[in-house]
Structure 1
């Protein structure tokens, strides 16, 4: 069953510069400008606090990690007022140096869902124990839900993988490995999580 989406209220504040045309110079001199400045300046400060912090956080995440979307689902919920649409997006992030994670974000707008998925992926990130040549130390097989994935070292052959397995391996920085999906599952999210679970078994440590 699909989890009920919580209501997301987006407040869009349009910043506009008001230009006041003064026709009578004598009357303009009598107008006090100090109360107007004191009333407007706190609003601008609050706006900066609310808008800049999320953008800086997301900017750091983009600079530190690469991300790829592996799954996009549109969910329709029928309510008394009509139909409401939301999006569920699965994302894989990694630094290609051993860190990788899978996350899911849900929202009524795709950009917000992507940001949530990236934050969720960072919470679930692991550190993969790679060999000096960028391979894995031994074969491993694991299952997540209905997806089963098998990984084995492949010296000199590069990354032999497809679907979401390849995305996870490339963003983790694995360069010499062969993989095989042993199940009939076509769910890319489950396949990606099964791959991360397989890499986690290679003496990995969770990133704090």
Structure 2
């Protein structure tokens, strides 16, 4: 009977998770259909605090685990071990998010990181800012940007079509999820820290929306 009750409770928790009840103003507007696109949600004055909003407006998001680290902490009861997971999400069409999750189980850590990444979703302005190419396709970024996180600093420059992603593995994956196909990258600092490198790349790409460009 104990096992059956546990299974039933798991099924009920799964059902309650599937049935979303918004707790923020933005979530209510999305559920009512007053906000129908992720662009409208990001431009609204309400903060994005619920990952279900992204699930409703961007159902085709891809996700990837960039790094899993084992972290330890000493407490009065002994040593506590958790897994720290770094995840990126994106639709490869300009929307990108990054998240960090911690849990005693890897799977739970991944789920937490994915939820955080969805609430950090942002739009990346793409274009062709390379004087060598000067086309109007959205294959690169419109101008040079710099991003920082911790001791890591990354500089991203527009590249002509066909160059590809001239960057390390982590910046390359982050750029791919944002829908950027050609770019030059230069890094400084302790780039072995995967999360800081990914976060610096995310901050650099996000800064493309801070300057308005001509269509």
TM-score (norm 1): 0.69
Aligned positions of 1:94-173 closer than 5 A:
94-131=90-127, 132-156=137-161, 157-173=163-179
| Kept in 1: contact 2:89–2:98 (CA 8 A) | yes
- Counterpart-to-counterpart distance in 2, 1:203 and 1:97: 14
| Kept in 1: contact 2:147–2:202 (CA 8 A) | no
Question: Structure 1 residue 119: deviation in Å?
Answer: 0.3
Structure 1 residues 172 and 107, CA gap change in structure 2 (3 angstroms): same
Question: Structure 1 residue 47: deviation in Å?
Answer: 5.1
Residue segments in structure 1 that go unaligned for 5+ positions in a row: 1-12, 17-42
Structure 1 residues 170 and 203, CA gap change in structure 2 (3 angstroms): same
Question: Structure 1 residue 76: deviation in Å?
Answer: 2.5
Moved over 6 A (4+): 55-59
CA RMSD of aligned residues (A): 2.9
Question: Structure 1 residue 147: deviation in Å?
Answer: 0.5
Kindly provide the CA deviation profile for residues 73-117 of structure 1, in whole angstroms up to 9, marking residues without a partner as x: 112234454433211111111111111111011111111000000
Structure 1 range deviating more: 60-69 or 162-171:
60-69
| Kept in 2: contact 1:129–1:204 (CA 8 A) | no
Residue segments in structure 2 that go unaligned for 5+ positions in a row: 21-50, 128-136
- Counterpart-to-counterpart distance in 2, 1:74 and 1:14: 31
| Kept in 2: contact 1:158–1:176 (CA 8 A) | yes
Question: Structure 1 residue 139: deviation in Å?
Answer: 1.2
1:70 aligns with 2:66: yes
Larger radius of gyration between Structure 1 and Structure 2: 1
Match of 2:189 among 183, 191, 203: 183
- Counterpart-to-counterpart distance in 2, 1:117 and 1:191: 16
| Kept in 1: contact 2:98–2:117 (CA 8 A) | yes
